[in-house]
Amino acid sequence: MLVSEALAVSYAGKTGNSVLSTDPGRIAAQIITRIGFLGAGAIIKHDFTIRGLTTAACIWISAAIGMSAGAGFFEFAIVATFIDLLCLVLLHRLEKKYAKDSYRILEVETTNNVNISELIDTVKRENLKILYLDNKRDYDENKMLIKFTIRLHYKGFTDKLSHIIVKDLEK
């Protein structure tokens, strides 16, 4: 931002054989474009889960704060930093208090003689919705792999619920 301002000031009004046009906003526009690509690279989709949205937003707001400070708008940069940190902390705490949908694939490997309906009842006991169920049997090794695609409507972090389900299934 300082370089773009310096170029605009030093070449303003100077003409030679060719017309030289300076625009300090062009470098800022290119910064925003490049940061958009970096943010898009931080977003990862895996199965039913999308991760990295907060990281992408933080990369973008960091660039905006840096451009503001580089342009000399220090008060704006300080206020934006404060608002950004406040939002990150408060929204993280608020997220724990409200239930949300989350999708998982639960794989259970067991012997062929296990009753699948008992496993389904165990999974449903925690108020989970089974969206899809697939099982593969290996009769040579007496093993069965059951894949549940589940939707959980859960308040807090789903890791605690996952541990409860695993303990129930181990019984």
pLDDT in tens, 19-31: 556 677 777 888 8
Q: What's the pLDDT at 21?
A: 65
Please list the ranges in the chain whose pLDDT falls under 50: none
CB environment 156-165: b (16+ within 10 A), e (fewer): eeeeebeeeb
CA-based nearest residue to 120, from 96, 141, 148: 148
Q: What's the pLDDT at 100?
A: 77
**Pick among 3.30.70.380, 3.40.50.10470, 1.20.1420.30, 3.40.50.300: CATH of 99-170:** 3.30.70.380
CA-based nearest residue to 52, from 61, 60, 40, 64: 40
* Cβ 42 vs Cβ 52: under 8 Å: yes
Entry pTM = 0.60
Q: What's the pLDDT at 79?
A: 95
Q: What's the pLDDT at 84?
A: 95
Q: What's the pLDDT at 11?
A: 67
pLDDT in tens, 48-81: 778 888 999 999 999 989 988 888 889 999 999 9
Domain with CATH 3.30.70.380 in the chain: 99-170
Q: What's the pLDDT at 12?
A: 66
